[in-house]
Every structure is written in C-alpha cells, then in structure tokens.
Amino acid sequence: MADLPFNLPKPLARRLRAAADAEGKIVRALDALGPLDGRDVALLDVPDGSLRTSLLATGLHAHDVTACDPLRLDLADGSVDAVVALWQGFEGVRPADLAEADRVLRAGGRLLVVHDYGRDEVSALADPAAPQYREWSQRGGPFLRGGGFKIRVLHCFWTFASIEDGQDFLGETFGERGRTVGAAMKRPRLSWNVAVYHRWRGGVAPEGAADDEGGGEAGPR
C-alpha cells in the first residue's frame, strides 16, 4: 500500500498503520511544506487509512490519482497546488515524471515525495542495498543533485503497546530480520527516519518565496 513503506497483508498492514508515526510528524511536515490547508492536492495512490484521514484533516481538497508507468496524472493542466506521493511514487527521479507533475501544478505549486531515509532501526528490517537508504538521499543522488528537490528528514517512530507486542509483530511480519531487531528492543518503539523530498514547480522557488523554505540537510557522506 502506498501509505506504508512495506507491502504487507491487510492484517499486518493494519497493525503497522497503528504503530507508524503516532505523533503525526509526517502529515505536519507535508502541511508545512505545501501548505495543504484549503488547497487542491493530488494524492498519488493514497488508500483509506489513518494517514489519509490525517491528510484530509488538514483541510485539503483531495484529487485522487493512480500511479502508473510512465506517470500520467488524470488531471487538467495547472489544476492543483500540490502533488503528494508516499513511498511508492517517484522512486528515483525521471525527467518525464517531473514534467508530468509540473504540468498539473499551478504556479508556485509543490511536489512532496515521502520515502524512508534510513540510519535508524526500521531500516534493519529491509534490504540494506535498497536505493532509498543509499543513493536517493546522497547529495550527489537523483533527488538532491539535479531534480530540484530539497530534503526534510523527520525523526519518527514505530510505537507498540509493549516490547512484547512489538517483538510479536516484527517476527510475524519480517521473519528472521524482525526477530533479530525485536530481540534488541529496550523500549516499545523503533526509530524511523523519514525523508520528505520537496520541490517547487519547475524546480525553482517563485518570486518572493524563500528558496530554502522547509529545507533540511542529508546525513553526512
């Protein structure tokens, strides 16, 4: 599902939605970078769930669009103020995809792309060679080198009812990797760093806007 960093069966996905970012940092960051309140926002394959509910609670006007390859957004030119993609959209940066996002964005619009950042406990559950943990967030990588993006890194958590609840979920969901991570738990949560790559329409800040608004720095390389 596009509102989670992992594709999971429905019962496990439901448990992860309950655990992931209970503090609401991801939606607050998206709203600050958009902003989203009162704006027309394209949501790229964002299903029903807690994250969608929180996004709608910002006061945005949702325009649901379907991810496809090559990217084609079923929206009129210049019809939205922001495009939001969560984990499974904009996997790397392709000029044609950026052009399609720019096509539907109004002047001063924002493209907001969420991916995992790594350097945390959650990344031990995934393939360490996955690009989101390596080249995507590097200063010379596709987002930060030539895509016109900046990055905001959010220090989030997966929070469970207890250590035992977390260990049970991790073992059932991720097998041996999950059991290893669960065995090291000293508290009922895992650190989870999330990157929000944000880009003005055309890759250039409009006149009067701070070019580094909402910016952040990638980790040292």
Q: Which residue has the tokens 């059932």?
A: 172
Q: Are 37 and 62 in contact (CB under 8 A)?
A: no
| 106 CB-near residues (< 8 Å, 6+ apart) | 78, 79, 80, 81, 201
Exposure of 117 in the CB half-sphere (CA atoms within 13 A): 26
* Chain centroid offset of residue 183 CA: 28
What are the sequence ranges of the domains in the chain?
20-156+189-199
CA distances from 150 to 94, 144, 158, 175, 196 (A): 16, 6, 25, 35, 8
Mean pLDDT score, 8-36: 96
Instruction: Give the tens place of pLDDT for each residue, 53-85.
Output: 999 999 999 999 998 888 999 999 999 999 999
Residue 219 is given by DSSP the state P
pLDDT of 217: 41
Instruction: Give the tens place of pLDDT for each residue, 79-108.
Output: 999 999 999 889 889 999 999 999 999 999
Q: Are 28 and 36 in contact (CB under 8 A)?
A: no
β-strands 189-200, 150-159: how paired? antiparallel
Q: Which residue has the tokens 């991790």?
A: 170
CA distance 96 to 101: 9
pLDDT mean across residues, the chain:
92
pLDDT at 1 over 70: no
pLDDT of 210: 67
CATH class label, 20-156+189-199: alpha beta
- Between 221 and 31, whose confidence is greater? 31
- Between 211 and 122, whose confidence is greater? 122
Model confidence pTM above 0.85: yes
- DSSP of 52-69, one letter per residue? HHHHHTTT-EEEEE---S
The percentage of residues in the chain with a pLDDT greater than 90, rounded to a whole number, is 84
Residue 121 is given by DSSP the state S
Q: Which tokens in the block code for residue 49?
A: 């769930």
Q: CA nearest 82: which of 47, 59, 108? A: 108
Q: Are 40 and 73 in contact (CB under 8 A)?
A: no
| 219 CB-near residues (< 8 Å, 6+ apart) | 117, 119, 137, 153
